[in-house]
Structure formats: structure tokens, C-alpha cells
Amino acid sequence: MKIKDEKQIEAKKKQILDIAETIITEEGIENLSVRKIAARLNQTPGILYHYFKDKEAVLAAIVERGYQEILAVIRETAKDTDPAVRLRNGLTGYLRLMIQKRDIFLLLMQSKDTAIQERVNILSTGTGDKKESIGSLCATLREGVESGCFRDVKIELRAQVIWSGAYGLISRIVTEQPSGEQTEHLIGEYLDMVLDSLASA
């Protein structure tokens, strides 16, 4: 396949995913369909099957794109040398991104798709060694403990609890939709609680 053709295919896939995300935002995940995507593209549904096998494949691609955005936030904050600063900035970026993309967050949480669940499930033993997202959090905690910035904790368990707490906060915010100011207060309080729990004596 020629490079030009590959770029055209990727551009079309991006267009399809952008439209699908818009439909999810406007009408809800349950109302997304290949037919609706095609209608907004002014094309027949059959055209979409050249790019995605079915609606589930579209949803999986949206989730993967969202997951890559999360990783991008984590990688950017990894540049911070202070573990406490890195932890605060990484969690702040993650929380704000998921609140901004509330419909994608709900898709992640509600989907029964095995591939999607594989992306978001983080509570099994050894997860920190298998997934970059929580693995990065484990690495930050480990560095903080070793440097004396954080008190000694069970690294993976603490990372799992911190991540789960973030999920819970995001879930309540996207459900209740408090004001922007209150949202920032809640994020700040959560981060203070996390860092206070890690502070060395």
C-alpha cells in the first residue's frame, strides 16, 4: 500500500471517529450506530465497513484513542523530576482529561467488551508491571519512597487505591456535573489527600 493511500485511510478513520464521538456526546452511547455515522458523512453505511468491521470496532477505536491521550498526559508529566510534583501533575491531567471527555469515560466504565475491559481493569496483582498507565504511577511512588519523599507503602496496592479513588471522583463529577469552580476544589482536595497520605514523617 502506498504511503499516500495509508494517510488517506487514517484520515478517513479519524473523521469517522470524530463523528462517532460527537454523536456519543450529543445523543449518548446507546444511540450510536453505523447508519448515523454514515448519514453525517453523507455516505452509505457500506462505506464505513471498509474502515471498521462494526459499531463495536468503532467504539474500541474510540477507547484506544482515549487511552493514548491518557498515556500522553502521563508521559508529559514524567518529565517532572520531583515525585510529588509528578504525581500531582499526572493525576491532575488525568482527572481533567476524563472529566472533559465524560462520554468516553462512561464508555470505558460501562462497556462489557473484553478488549476495552482489558484496558481499564487495574486491580489484579501484577497490573503495575503490565500496563503503562498504572505502571507509571507505581514507578513514581517507588521513586518517592526510595528518595525519602514518600513514606514506605505497598507500591502496587497504593497505586491501585489512588487510581480507583480517581475513578470514583470522576464518576461523581460526570454524574452530578458541579460547577467548574467546585470541580477544581474537589480535584485539589483529592490530590491533597493523596499526597498527605504519602508524606514521610
For residues 67 and 47, state if they share a domain.
no
Task: Count up the domains in the chain and report the number.
Answer: 2
Same domain, 32 and 72: no
Predicted local distance difference test score (pLDDT) of residue 92 = 94
- Residue 165 buriedness (CB in 10 A; 0-12 / 13-18 / 19+): middle
Has residue 140 been placed in a domain?
yes
In a domain, 182, yes or no: yes
- 74 Ramachandran zone, left/alpha/beta (phi>0; psi -120 to 50): alpha
Range of the domain at 70: 62-198
**Statement to judge: residues 31 and 94 lie in one domain:** no
What is the CATH number for 25? Answer: 1.10.10.60
What pLDDT, on the 0 to 100 scale, is given for residue 3? 53
In a domain, 11, yes or no: yes
Q: What is the pLDDT of residues 65-122, one digit of tens each?
A: 888 888 888 888 877 789 999 999 999 999 999 998 887 787 777 777 777 777 778 8
Q: Nearest to residue 40, comparing CAs of 22, 58, 28?
A: 22
Residues of the chain with pLDDT under 50: 1
* Angstrom distance (rounded) from CA 50 to CA 41: 14
Same domain, 10 and 103: no
- Can you give the CATH number for the domain in which 158 is found? 1.10.357.10
Does residue 57 lie within any of the structural domains?
A: no
Residues 77 and 156 in one domain: yes
Give pLDDT, residue 35: 93
Cα angle 99, 105, 109 (rounded to 5 degrees) comes to: 140
Same domain, 68 and 110: yes
189, part of any domain? yes
Q: Which of 52, 75, 90 is the last residue of a domain?
A: 52
